[in-house]
Structure 1
């Protein structure tokens, strides 16, 4: 067994960790240079060498690793992982029993007690995502825990790390029977084609479940809908099934068109009656303005950071200008669904982006409702950054 590494916590961070803060950040530690091999167990100590918490070393963009327990005697072993995963599964029993939804998150990182690890469920298939080499060293314990806790068709994995923090693209199959992809999962009665064996993304973002449902049930009927940064068109499918007059899906990625056609098709929707456009969203805004196109419902869910040949986009600095472009092509009394998964700012700042954009355009608005992560995406109350999703339903009133 490898020796534990002692990390000294700076004085102004001690109370934070004693209060349950889970992320081990470099600026909180006086001796980060002692960290060499990821996966090693860490003890956080104060200046008097008094124990504060225990965790593991695993570098990801958020920090050096994660706290796992405040109990000095608790072992980070199979029993630890099994208990955490079993507790998480028990909390999701209502999802397992839901006949209309069979795709959801089973384990949500630090929200369920182990940062850097997520486990999703897709109609009998488990998908484990590893966010650092450190957490990956515990792989056999996690798989064994899933083995002991229930039946499944297969386990797949995504290694979302390398020296640049990117996804490692190799065979994602771990054990069980290989799936025939796509598998068709259900979410609130809607079908989505999912690929667990094809790169970093599977085809649908589970954290937007509640937003897709409200689009279908409340905002889409008889509306002309624009879905920007549309990926595989999941929002467009929800809108079409909600009775939208027409949907327009716009994304720069060439494969988005075939993927969107597939999502419409598995729901029995005639994709030829919808517009699916491969184009830079900002170029499309200019096109729509030139053609005087207007939409009743516009969905904005950009990546936190994106770079194309023409421009670089960052939600942290460019979201207000994105909203301003949107206001210009939204009908009076139309609705904008503004979303971001950027964890570096909270809902208050996001609402400030909306206020700034509408003020600059001299247009009035009203926030009708707001969403954050759904119930299966458990959040640690001591780590608000973990509740990264912010969605505002905004009505343009002038």
Structure 2
């Protein structure tokens, strides 16, 4: 049974132009007792049809429009069409022997908001972003079995309160993997864990940036990688000929994880520095010790809270960048990155401009990156194109 949701006039036009998220603030009227996964028909205030989709609470939305056609059925055949198209678009990636990890299906960019599918060397990871999307689980897995040859499939459920990860056995079908699973990215090796929480060990959306660091910026340089997670940027820098890398992250597990990533690339981790410390405390330490770096990589989370500090990219990125500028050598490079969808690239440039002005330093933009092609986006949903990376030379 389908439920009708009425959208306020000022939101209706945006949705007609292809905006797929059914926002909580856009709703004028709907049945308060809709079940997660229920099919919904979206209409404007005069009852004109806008689209059809499903009900599923996720962040600021309560569902996604999946089709603009009244008569199109949302069933296994529907998902088959969209996932088949995603396979076709990424055929070249399957043929590339130097890269064995990439995104196969990117939510609304591939036509189904609330769902992503990643490929890791003959294994797939399906991520569900709402209980509503999870109701289509049987259809999605049936399609995957028909279209893909795989060793195994894992899933991540990100639909607990506020999008947090649901702890569960992530294995779905096929054979369980032996971990770490080694994958390649532009010839670099990464150790992956598909059975160990919401994150697997490397962020696939940064592959072009890692390649650029390795190929263009690392040779003969001393590199600082902040918010380093498992050290993937440090691996790229070391493989690119950096004289030394320093990886800094507050999480204790970043130490063994970074050692592992160096080791699977035959890099002697004892020749690198791996520091478990709050990044802002490290900046103070580096200044006190007179340390300066040729390359500084800044890729903080959009929001983070430690015992002593709260960081919000939207509010605090300018200050973070000031700290980085202070320990970047003249003619050195800063890789400024954010995955925060709350502001645009233009706004990000104002943060950069403000930080350099406050530090009385000049700069030149060398390169910019957004999401790679496998992270397909649509123009009508700007929030989906979240990644902003600006590579800057300090003059």
- What interval of TM-score do these two structures reach, taking the shorter chain for normalisation? over 0.9
Q: Which residue of 1 aligns with 2:240?
A: 242
Structure 1 residue ranges (4+ consecutive) displaced by more than 6 angstroms after TM superposition: none
**Cα deviation, residue 33, structure 1:** 5.1
* Cα distance in 2 between the residues matched to 1:351 and 1:16: 26
Q: Which residue of 1 aligns with 2:374?
A: 376
Cα deviation, 1:196-230, whole Å, max 9, x if unaligned, reads 00001000000000000000000000000000000
Of 271, 274, 278, which residue of structure 2 is paired with 1:280?
A: 278
* Cα distance in 1 between the residues matched to 2:53 and 2:299: 34
Q: Which residue of 1 aligns with 2:252?
A: 254
Q: Which residue of 1 aligns with 2:309?
A: 311
Q: After TM superposition, list the pairs within 5 Å mapping 1:29-44 onto structure 2.
A: 29-32=27-30, 34-44=32-42
Of 219, 230, 233, which residue of structure 2 is paired with 1:232?
A: 230
Of 199, 202, 218, which residue of structure 1 is paired with 2:200?
A: 202
Q: Is the 8 A contact 1:53 1:69 kept in 2?
A: yes
Go from structure 1 to structure 2 and tell me whether the alpha carbon gap of 1:35 and 1:348 turns closer, same or farther (over 3 Å shift): farther
Pairing 1:10–2:8 present: yes
**Cα deviation, residue 170, structure 1:** 1.1
Cα deviation, 1:287-328, whole Å, max 9, x if unaligned, reads 000000000000000000011111100000000000000011
Q: Is the 8 A contact 1:26 1:32 kept in 2?
A: no
Cα deviation, 1:160-211, whole Å, max 9, x if unaligned, reads 1113321011100000010000100000000000000000100000000000
Of 146, 149, 152, which residue of structure 2 is paired with 1:148?
A: 146
**Cα deviation, residue 34, structure 1:** 2.7
* Cα distance in 1 between the residues matched to 2:334 and 2:315: 19
Q: Which residue of 1 aligns with 2:24?
A: 26
Q: Is the 8 A contact 2:24 2:60 kept in 1?
A: no
* Cα distance in 1 between the residues matched to 2:97 and 2:221: 29
Q: After TM superposition, list the pairs within 5 Å mapping 1:12-161 onto structure 2.
A: 12-32=10-30, 34-161=32-159
Cα deviation, 1:67-117, whole Å, max 9, x if unaligned, reads 100000000000001111010111000100001001000000000000000
**Cα deviation, residue 14, structure 1:** 1.9
Q: What runs of 5+ residues in structure 2 fail to find an aligned partner?
A: none
Q: What runs of 5+ residues in structure 1 fail to find an aligned partner?
A: none
Q: Which residue of 1 aligns with 2:365?
A: 367
Cα deviation, 1:49-71, whole Å, max 9, x if unaligned, reads 22110011111113111110000
Q: Which residue of 1 aligns with 2:292?
A: 294
**Cα deviation, residue 342, structure 1:** 0.3
**Cα deviation, residue 381, structure 1:** 1.4
Pairing 1:386–2:384 present: yes
Q: Which residue of 2 aligns with 1:168?
A: 166
Q: Is the 8 A contact 2:43 2:51 kept in 1?
A: yes
**3-state DSSP class of the match of 1:356?**
helix
* Cα distance in 2 between the residues matched to 1:158 and 1:380: 24
Of 317, 340, 357, which residue of structure 2 is paired with 1:342?
A: 340
* Cα distance in 2 between the residues matched to 1:35 and 1:258: 47
TM normalised by structure 1 equals 0.98
TM normalised by structure 2 equals 0.99
Q: Is the 8 A contact 1:229 1:300 kept in 2?
A: yes
* Cα distance in 2 between the residues matched to 1:357 and 1:35: 48
* Cα distance in 1 between the residues matched to 2:262 and 2:326: 28
Q: Which residue of 2 aligns with 1:331?
A: 329
**3-state DSSP class of the match of 1:392?**
strand
* Cα distance in 2 between the residues matched to 1:189 and 1:327: 31
* Cα distance in 1 between the residues matched to 2:80 and 2:196: 28
**3-state DSSP class of the match of 1:317?**
helix
Q: Which residue of 2 aligns with 1:190?
A: 188
* Cα distance in 2 between the residues matched to 1:48 and 1:62: 25
**3-state DSSP class of the match of 2:163?**
coil
Q: Is the 8 A contact 2:255 2:274 kept in 1?
A: yes
